[in-house]
Amino acid sequence: MIGQKILVVDDEPKIVSVMRDYLAKDGFRVVEAYDGPSALATARREKPDLIVLDLMLPGMSGLEVCRTLRRESNVPIIMLTARAEETDKLIGLGLGADDYVVKPFSPREVVARMHAVLRRVGGGPALSVIQQGDLIIDLERHAVTLAGEPVDLTPTEFDLLAALAGNPGKVFTRIQLLERTQHQPYEGYARVIDVHVKNLRHKIEPAEGGPRYIQTVYGVGYKFAPQD
């Protein structure tokens, strides 16, 4: 992880400065932006390994920046905001953000979240390829194909799919899936898994006929239906 490039976006220079200094001590390279349009331009030019993105930005909101970036890239995104409402959090995650931190926050907490996300992106040595029917999950390359066509997933979506498909038929609670994807088994965050499942289903499930792969176990959580 040392030397990876992090884009920090916030309209408060003090927050950017604190994060820059904290990340530099950890060996990261830091680039900065202070509004929505410059965040997009910097992300496109610098191609960071991860973006720390404030929700409330001048020129273009962090939500719109996230929405635009997700049409172009699967770069991991951690959103920062002073707004703690559950709706804002779910909207951000629904647009493809990988994690969410509410201000005021500890820089140590943000860096810990970053390390967790980057570990999921980078992965470790390849152990196997998971194949369920025409769905193939390559753990080494962190890649997914469906009927031979590549499927672009965010890091959280990939971890969620790998956990479910790697244990076909096993029922996971939302808390268990939160542990597998966010490494934070906080019950108050459990419903964010529903947002990630919804996004994942949109990418891999057939348009009609109901879910083929990821099935809801009402009152419990989710399971992956074994495929021939």
In sequence order, what are the beta bridge partners of 7?
31, 51
Residue by residue, what is the 3-state secondary structure of 31-79? EEECCHHHHHHHHHHHCCCEEEEECCCCCCCHHHHHHHHHCCCCCCEEE
Average pLDDT over residues 10-27: 90
Which pLDDT belongs to residue 1? 47
Q: Is 69 exposed, middle or buried (0-12, 13-18, 19+ CB in 10 A)?
A: buried
Higher pLDDT, 142 or 92: 142
Per residue in 111-121, pLDDT (tens digit) is 877 877 887 76
Average pLDDT over residues 1-30: 87
Which pLDDT belongs to residue 25? 82
pLDDT band at 150 (very low <50, low <70, confident <90, very high): very high
Per residue in 167-216, pLDDT (tens digit) is 888 888 888 888 777 655 455 566 788 989 999 999 999 888 788 999 99
Q: Which domains does the chain have, with CATH numbers?
A: 5-122 (3.40.50.2300), 129-224 (1.10.10.10)
Per residue in 67-83, pLDDT (tens digit) is 899 888 889 999 887 76
Distance CA 165, CA 86 (A): 29
Which pLDDT belongs to residue 190? 64
Residue 20 has pLDDT above 80, yes or no: yes
Cα-Cα end-to-end distance for the chain: 38
With contact defined as beta carbons under 8 Å apart, do 159 and 120 qualify?
A: yes
Residue 3 has pLDDT above 60, yes or no: yes
Which pLDDT belongs to residue 127? 43
Averaged pLDDT of the chain: 84
Which pLDDT belongs to residue 80? 87
Average pLDDT over residues 4-22: 92
